[in-house]
Amino acid sequence: MLSRPELGPLVTFVPNKKLPVYSWFYYKEGFSRDFVIQMFEEFDLEPNPEKTVLDPFMGVGTTLVASREYGVTSYGFDVSPLAVFASRVKTRNYDIEELRRWKDWLFKQKFYKVDAEVSGLVKRAFNRHILDDVLFFREIITGIPDEKVRDFFLLALINSANKCSYAFKDGAVLKFRKRPVPPLREMLKRTIKKMIKDLERIKFKPVPAYASVGDARQIDLEDNSIDMIVTSPPYLNKIEYTKVYSIEMELFFPHMRVSNLIHSAIGLDAKVSEEDILELSKYLDPKDPLVAFHYFKDMKQALHEMFRVLKPGGVCLIVVGNGCFPHKVIESDVILGQMAEEIGLILKDIWVANQRWCMKNRTAKVGLLRESVVVLEKP
Ligand SMILES: C[S@@+](CC[C@H](N)C(=O)[O-])C[C@H]1O[C@@H](n2cnc3c(N)ncnc32)[C@H](O)[C@@H]1O
């Protein structure tokens, strides 16, 4: 185990907040562009379209956007259609003049009131004027025939609606605070202008990035096809990603059911049999919470898949946080390293990027909680 505190800020989303394109969708759970690029450089990944990178827990596509900047072909999968949508919009090529023309067209459209059924949750999140504007622009934008242009403006609208909302994400829960909010039309105009400017600033190489809905436990890729994996799965203390995005899902992905998504997420789906418990007791105590058994059962399947798709000599970097529970800290980094070795990967190192105390009842220290990078290689 090696202490690498310089990686601490890089395994968070914070450095992305100021970067063109990376910042188009704020994802608290993400890591940064600089982490991905630094890993490519440390492991001498050649910037070459024939080199392949995978993120099986893609989130909003940080690994894929960085791969496009660096010049390698990339693949990403996520169970959340919202995350996949954001990743796709961020990794495409655009005709900037065409976007400008559509922007002018968009703001020339005359407002009318759209009659739409919305839930109590959505009503709570917006004042009436903002909601009317969101529904109006949603209708206008979804009528744009070109998918690329439509998705680009829709992501801008999702972003703008968030900034004009009373709702905010506090860890795994949605909270509401009435406050003065800026007019949506202005926010949308500003957001689109900035996104177009970002496209002029970012320098993408002519390499493809494939973002798809998919499950890390069953990766839709050939055996021995990937040079490097840079990824971060859900953490044991934060396996539920979907509920805080309920408003976005209802307004912009109404055909997707949040309950279905939850069931495909790591740690929330697995059925744990007596046999599994026996097998997992190598890593866990019987007293450990059931969620830990579910989580590591799923993660073992995901590790099997990562092993399968990696080329011999390929490197796999997994950013993960340990689990904080009242009775103990569950060391996810060590357990994943152990599991990976049993599967056949070589555990090269565990780099500790961040450490903080795991507290019980906010007063008693249970133990140190690490956020680490598990460094693996396929022999
Ligand atoms: C820690 S986040 C990854 C963030 C990403 N590194 C970024 O910078 O945006 C973990 C992601 O795993 C996804 N996820 C959960 N279960 C999954 C599964 N079974 N297969 C694929 N993705 C899954 C969640 O939806 C979430 O987006």
Asked whether residue 88 is assigned to any structural domain, the reply reads no
Ligand 1 pocket mutation, candidates 79, 235, 237, 305, criterion most atoms within 8 A of CB: 79
The separation between the first and the last C-alpha atoms of the chain, rounded to the nearest angstrom, is 20
Domain shared by 301 and 349, yes or no: yes
Query: Minimal CA–CA distance to 323: which of 280, 347, 348, 290?
Result: 290
Cβ count near 333 (within 10 Å): 21
Q: What's 36's domain CATH number?
A: 3.40.50.150
Q: Which residues, 6 or more positions from 14, have their beta carbon under 8 angstroms from its beta carbon? A: 32
Query: Minimal CA–CA distance to 149: which of 80, 92, 109, 111?
Result: 92
Distance between Cα 235 and ligand 1 center (Å):
10
Model pTM score: 0.95
Q: Which residues line ligand 1 (CB under 6 A)?
A: 27, 29-31, 56-57, 59-60, 62, 77-80, 83, 215-217, 232-234, 241, 264-266
Distance between Cα 112 and ligand 1 center (Å):
38
Domain shared by 163 and 281, yes or no: no
Domain shared by 309 and 256, yes or no: yes
Distance between Cα 266 and ligand 1 center (Å):
9
Q: Measured from the CA of 58, which atom of ligand 1 is nearest? A: 5
Beta bridge partners of 377: 315, 346
Domain shared by 172 and 273, yes or no: no
Domain shared by 241 and 370, yes or no: yes
Query: Pairing between strand 173-176 and 209-213?
Result: unpaired
CB 322 within 8 A of CB 335: no
Q: What is the pLDDT of residue 255?
A: 76
Last residue of a domain, one of 201, 224, 247: 201
Domain shared by 72 and 189, yes or no: no
Last residue of a domain, one of 201, 231, 263: 201
Domain shared by 217 and 354, yes or no: yes
pLDDT in tens, 54-75: 999 999 999 999 999 999 999 9
Q: What is the pLDDT of residue 243?
A: 80
Q: Measured from the CA of 77, which atom of ligand 1 is nearest? A: 21
Q: What is the pLDDT of residue 23?
A: 96
pLDDT in tens, 181-198: 999 999 999 999 999 999
Q: How many domains does the chain have?
A: 2
CA–CA gap between residue 243 and residue 240 (Å, rounded):
7
Domain shared by 71 and 117, yes or no: no
Domain shared by 58 and 155, yes or no: no
The closest residue, in CA terms, to atom 8 on ligand 1 is 30
Asked whether residue 49 is assigned to any structural domain, the reply reads yes
Domain shared by 336 and 221, yes or no: yes
Query: Minimal CA–CA distance to 37: which of 50, 19, 25, 24?
Result: 19
Query: Minimal CA–CA distance to 159: which of 191, 129, 124, 130?
Result: 191
CB 77 within 8 A of CB 56: yes
CB 13 within 8 A of CB 27: yes
CB 66 within 8 A of CB 34: no
Distance between Cα 318 and ligand 1 center (Å):
12
Asked whether residue 109 is assigned to any structural domain, the reply reads yes
CA–CA gap between residue 332 and residue 318 (Å, rounded):
11
Distance between Cα 279 and ligand 1 center (Å):
25
Asked whether residue 31 is assigned to any structural domain, the reply reads yes
Q: Which residues, 6 or more positions from 200, have their beta carbon under 8 angstroms from its beta carbon? A: 96
Asked whether residue 287 is assigned to any structural domain, the reply reads yes
Asked whether residue 122 is assigned to any structural domain, the reply reads yes
Domain shared by 228 and 364, yes or no: yes
pLDDT in tens, 270-305: 678 888 888 999 999 988 998 899 999 999 999 999
The closest residue, in CA terms, to atom 15 on ligand 1 is 265
Q: Measured from the CA of 233, which atom of ligand 1 is nearest? A: 10
Query: Minimal CA–CA distance to 266: which of 316, 303, 226, 317?
Result: 303
277 Cα distance to chain centroid: 29
Domain shared by 242 and 352, yes or no: yes
Distance between Cα 241 and ligand 1 center (Å):
8
Q: What is the pLDDT of residue 46?
A: 98
Ligand 1 pocket mutation, candidates 218, 266, 371, criterion most atoms within 8 A of CB: 266
Each of the 379 residues of the chain gets a pLDDT tens digit; together they read 999 999 999 999 999 999 999 999 988 889 999 999 999 999 999 999 999 999 999 999 999 999 999 999 999 999 999 999 999 999 999 999 999 999 999 999 999 999 999 999 999 999 999 999 999 999 999 999 999 999 999 999 999 999 999 999 887 789 999 999 999 999 999 999 999 999 999 999 999 999 999 999 999 999 999 999 999 999 998 767 678 888 999 999 887 765 555 556 666 666 788 888 889 999 999 889 988 999 999 999 999 999 999 999 999 999 999 999 999 999 999 999 999 999 999 999 999 999 999 999 888 999 999 999 999 999 9
SS (H, E, C) the chain: CEECHHHCHHHCCHHHHHCCCHHHCCCCCCCCHHHHHHHHHHCCCCCCCCCEEEECCCCCCHHHHHHHHHCCEEEEEECCHHHHHHHHHHHCCCCHHHHHHHHHHHCCCCCCCCCCCCCHHHHHHCCHHHHHHHHHHHHHHHCCCCHHHHHHHHHHHHHHHHHCCCEEEECCEEEECCCCCCCHHHHHHHHHHHHHHHHHHCCCCCCCEEEEECECCECCCCCCCEEEEEECCCECCECCCCHHHHHHHHHHCCCCCHHHHHHHCCCCCCCCCHHHHHHHCCCCCCCCCHHHHHHHHHHHHHHHHHHHHEEEEEEEEEEEECEECCCCEECHHHHHHHHHHHHCCEEEEEEEEEEEEEEECCCEEEEEEEEEEEEEECC
Q: Measured from the CA of 29, which atom of ligand 1 is nearest? A: 1
Q: What is the pLDDT of residue 29?
A: 86
Give the range of the structural domain holding residue 274, as residue numbers without chain letter. Answer: 2-81+211-377
Last residue of a domain, one of 138, 169, 201: 201
Asked whether residue 90 is assigned to any structural domain, the reply reads no
Asked whether residue 58 is assigned to any structural domain, the reply reads yes
